[in-house]
């Protein structure tokens, strides 16, 4: 009996270790960050909006982990029927959007434990998070003239470019940053630029200045990491089963 229990525990341990090794080896994680820094009036504080999405590739399945920042106000009903506003709490929840690359429809899970996923159009999601076809096109455009470029002294690989425009341009200056070591990463913010330079465009900074008002739009990707990959693996496994029913 003891030998049987020991053998069973050993099998379970091997399975668990196998799942963990798959998570480390096969999950490709990228942090996709967009920052909009706007100023509407000279001398007033800027409005800064940051969107940080985790992108996870597992074989041909892509997962977007999209954060939602929630504001909740606590309202108390008094004995006389009136209400009084209490404290305001803030928290962040995450939605998990999974789809097969090239597919038009995917499944959205409102949490890691969500039982009923919902279908969503992939193009609508990509447009919403600023990585749709139109955004990819504009990410490859740099107005103005190339005024500065930096290359690695040893490999001659491109590291940085700076473009400056003439007056009345939509964008006054564009900064591009490259990381050749990431060119094997499938996720991209400008596929045509990656192909042109045989590298990976990892950051774009567009600066617009009009009437002394400065607006900045930053788009960036960088290699990410998952502290707990196993829940994502389980979600992907669920998706492979759910899509057989939900996406028929």
- Would 169 be classed as within a structural domain? yes
Collapsing DSSP to helix, strand or coil, 70 comes out as strand
Tens of pLDDT, residue by residue over 166-176, are 877 888 999 99
Number of domains in the chain: 1
Q: Could you give the CA distance from residue 188 to residue 80 in angstroms, rounded to a whole number?
A: 59
- Would 1 be classed as within a structural domain? no
So what's the pLDDT on residue 166?
82
So what's the pLDDT on residue 248?
66
Q: Could you give the CA distance from residue 174 to residue 90 in angstroms, rounded to a whole number?
A: 35
- Would 10 be classed as within a structural domain? no
Instruction: Tell which residue, 248, 245, 246, 233, has the closest CA to residue 61.
Output: 233
Please give the order of strands across the beta sheet that includes 201-210. 118-121, 105-109, 83-100, 61-77, 47-58, 28-38, 213-223, 201-210, 173-178, 158-164, 145-151
- Would 195 be classed as within a structural domain? yes
Q: Which residue has the higher pLDDT, 16 or 40?
A: 40
Average pLDDT over the chain reads: 85
Q: Which residue has the higher pLDDT, 83 or 118?
A: 118
In this structure, what token pair is assigned to residue 199? 């590298």
- Would 2 be classed as within a structural domain? no
| Structural domain for 208, as ranges | 26-246
Is the pLDDT at 218 greater than 80, yes or no?
yes
- Would 139 be classed as within a structural domain? yes
Is the pLDDT at 64 greater than 50, yes or no?
yes
Note the helical H segments in the chain: 2-26, 122-128, 133-139, 191-197, 229-246
Q: Could you give the CA distance from residue 24 to residue 30 in angstroms, rounded to a whole number?
A: 14
Tens of pLDDT, residue by residue over 82-92, are 677 766 777 78
Identify the band that residue 14 occupies on the pLDDT scale cut at 50, 70 and 90.
very low
- Weakest-pLDDT range from 3-17, 169-183, 228-242: 3-17
Do 39 and 46 touch, CB atoms closer than 8 A?
A: yes
So what's the pLDDT on residue 170?
84
Do 31 and 54 touch, CB atoms closer than 8 A?
A: yes
Mean predicted confidence (pLDDT) in 215-220: 94
- Would 19 be classed as within a structural domain? no
So what's the pLDDT on residue 17?
39
97 Cβ partners below 8 Å, 6+ apart? 63, 64, 66, 106, 107, 108, 109, 120, 125
Where residue 76 falls (left for φ over 0; alpha for ψ -120 to 50; beta otherwise) is beta
Q: Could you give the CA distance from residue 246 to residue 107 in angstroms, rounded to a whole number?
A: 8
- Would 6 be classed as within a structural domain? no
């Amino acid at each position: 009996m003891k030998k049987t229990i020991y053998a069973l525990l050993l099998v379970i341990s091997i399975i668990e270790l196998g799942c963990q090794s798959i998570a480390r080896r096969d999950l490709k994680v990228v942090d996709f960050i967009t920052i909009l820094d706007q100023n509407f009036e000279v001398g007033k504080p800027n409005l800064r909006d940051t969107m940080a999405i985790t992108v996870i590739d597992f074989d041909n399945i892509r997962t977007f982990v999209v954060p939602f920042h929630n504001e909740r106000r606590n309202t108390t009903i008094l004995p006389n029927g009136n209400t009084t506003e209490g404290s305001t709490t803030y928290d962040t929840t995450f939605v998990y959007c999974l789809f097969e690359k090239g597919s038009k429809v995917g499944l959205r899970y409102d949490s890691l434990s969500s039982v009923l996923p919902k279908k969503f159009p992939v193009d609508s999601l990509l447009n919403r998070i600023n990585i749709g076809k139109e955004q990819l096109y504009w990410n490859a455009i740099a107005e103005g003239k190339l005024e500065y470029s930096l290359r690695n002294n040893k490999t001659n690989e491109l590291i940085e470019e700076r473009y400056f425009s003439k007056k009345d341009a939509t964008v006054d200056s564009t900064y591009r940053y490259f990381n050749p070591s990431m060119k094997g990463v499938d996720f991209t913010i400008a596929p045509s630029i990656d192909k042109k330079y045989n590298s990976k465009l990892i950051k774009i900074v567009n600066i617009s200045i009009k009437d002394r008002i400065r607006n900045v739009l930053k788009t960036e990707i960088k290699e990410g990491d998952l502290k707990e990959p196993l829940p994502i693996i389980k979600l992907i496994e669920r998706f492979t089963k759910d899509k057989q029913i939900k996406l028929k």
